[in-house]
Every structure is written in structure tokens, then in C-alpha cells.
Amino acid sequence: NAGVTQTPKFRILKIGQSMTLQCTQDMNHNYMYWYRQDPGMGLKLIYYSVGAGITDKGEVPNGYNVSRSTTEDFPLRLELAAPSQTSVYFCASSYQGPDTQYFGPGTRLTVL
């Protein structure tokens, strides 16, 4: 199993640009999550999904959108990038509930 994969690993955006961060898991997990981690800070939940077609907001959803059309994929969309969205983004998945989450390697995003 590849586990949780994220692409790209690094990206630099200009203010106002849009992009999609990709996340795929091959463990047939029901739950998937997107977090952001700012320097020296803990992780904050952006969005999560409990299954295909079901998504819900976390602590810091503003400026982001998600979709979950399949069990495997959970892309995160930034529509109008702002410097405040400079962060490392982690995707995670779990079979049932927020325990025992498996994390991807992260995407480091810089908005200039």
C-alpha cells in the first residue's frame, strides 16, 4: 500500500491564484481530513469527510473548498490565494473516527 499520497510537494502561488491540492489514499478508509500547520504551531483542521459525498467544515475552513466524489480522493481547493494561506498542508485518513489517522507527507505552499 502507498498509504496517503499528496501532490504537489511544494508550490509557490501568487496572490489571487487558484490551485488544488491532491490527496489520495489506498487503504479504503472512510474518513479523510485536511489540516494546515503554520510554523511552530500545531495542526488545525480545515475540512473533513466521513465518506464519499459527505464533507464538513473544521476549525479554519475559510478560503478553502473540498469535494469527496470517491472513497480514495479528497482534493482541497484554494480559490483566491492569500499570504495568510502560506502553510504546510497535511491530508490524513482513518478507517472510522478520528483515531488512528494516517498522514501524508504534506504540501508546502507559499503565497507571495
Partner 1 sequence: KQEVTQIPAALSVPEGENLVLNCSFTDSAIYNLQWFRQDPGKGLTSLLLIQSSQREQTSGRLNASLDKSSGRSTLYIAASQPGDSATYLCAVRGNSGGSNYKLTFGKGTLLTVNP
Q: Which residues bind partner 1 (CB under 8 A)?
A: 4, 40-45, 48, 50, 56, 58-59, 90, 92, 97-101, 103-106
| Residue 68 CB, nearest approach to partner 1 (Å) | 15
| Residue 10 CB, nearest approach to partner 1 (Å) | 10
- Smaller CB separation from partner 1, 91 or 111: 91
Q: Which residues neighbour 21 within 8 Å (Cβ) at sequence distance 6 or greater?
A: 6, 7, 8, 34, 75, 76, 77, 78, 89, 91, 107, 109
| Residue 80 CB, nearest approach to partner 1 (Å) | 26
